[in-house]
Amino acid sequence: MKIRFIFNPRSGRNARRPSLAPSIQAYIRERNLDATLVTTARPHHATELARAAVAEGCDRVVAVGGDGTMNEVAQALLHSPAALGLIPCGSGNGLALHLGIPLAAPRALALATDPHARAAAIDTGTVNGLPFFNAMGLGFDADISERFNHLTRRGLPAYVRTGIRAWIGRRTETVIVRGGGHSAALDILLVAVANSDQYGNNARIAPGARVDDGLLDLVAVRPVSMINVLPLVARLFAGQFHTSPRVMRLRDTAFTIERPAAGLVHTDGETHATGATLSIRVLPRSLRLLVPAHARLIATNDRATPRDIELQLP
């Protein structure tokens, strides 16, 4: 079994923990693994390195970094026989948390190198051709991501502070959403399209979403006043976000979103400038991902039925 580790030294905890790469190299030597570790040097380099790993016949390609690193590596593995492994080192680690992949580096490393580890086929998504694996979004969602990506220090406290600053300068917009048999013009604070149930840090934007059902979950949040924002945030972390009257939700294989002008979207936390019309679709079972043997490819708090979700957006 041939393994390639792709290490992002600027990603989340890696920037504060320079000993991780030498620890992985020592692990490889001690167990005499057919594995190598390479380091990214610039944005999008992880995709290049992952493509090279697939071309060289690697059975597993392991992303050592945050959600952005995961996204770059996974792009190169779509529809390939190679399986993606994760050693989550980011600020959110949404996909890892959704699937129960260990956040502790030693346990994640053991899973990534276990010859008997389960390689599950999961869905992925694209927005205007840009791949995403956990979630994408626009509006307030993309604004926070853009601000967060310019920070030198990451983590949940930094994310909260960034969210507060973005909230102070928030803007709403009117979009037309098509999907799930519906078409509606909506005043929104944000729209997220989720593959898993959460952004990260157990902030469940789409409770009940799963990565193996061939569907994506669109969540639209109407403008929220200051008095209503804290209860909404509480629902987000309690797994009850979809029960808020300010939240509307659809489940489908594809969506179209039309907004007044071109702007930003984020894909797994990385921002991109895109056109006014967004075409979003699912790629069913298009990525092989190493997960724990006990992992259930469904959220544990799946209380929303597909019918409930279809009826939530007029």
260 pLDDT higher than 90? yes
Q: Give the pTM.
A: 0.88
pLDDT score recorded for residue 302: 39
pLDDT digits (tens, 9 = 90+) for 285-308: 999 999 998 776 644 433 333 333
pLDDT score recorded for residue 206: 95
pLDDT score recorded for residue 299: 40
Question: Thinking of the domain 130-285+296-310, which architecture would CATH place it in?
Answer: Sandwich (2.60)
pLDDT digits (tens, 9 = 90+) for 225-252: 878 888 999 999 999 998 999 999 999 9
pLDDT score recorded for residue 201: 87
Mean pLDDT of the chain: 87
Q: Which fold has domain 3-116?
A: Rossmann fold (3.40.50)
pLDDT score recorded for residue 305: 39
Structure tokens at 15: 């920037």
Structure tokens at 214: 């061939």
pLDDT digits (tens, 9 = 90+) for 150-206: 555 655 566 666 666 666 667 788 999 999 888 999 999 999 999 999 998 899 999
Interior angle at CA 38, CA 37 and CA 41, nearest 5: 155
Domain coordinates in residue numbering, the chain? 3-116, 130-285+296-310
99 pLDDT higher than 80? yes
Percentage of the chain exceeding pLDDT 90: 71
Report the alpha-carbon distance of residue 142 to residue 61 in Å, rounded.
Answer: 28
pLDDT score recorded for residue 148: 65
The contacts of residue 85 (CB under 8 Å, 6+ apart) are 3, 60, 61, 62, 63, 108, 111, 112, 117, 289, 290
Report the alpha-carbon distance of residue 245 to residue 222 in Å, rounded.
Answer: 9
Q: Which of 92, 298, 75 is nearest to 197 (CA)?
A: 298
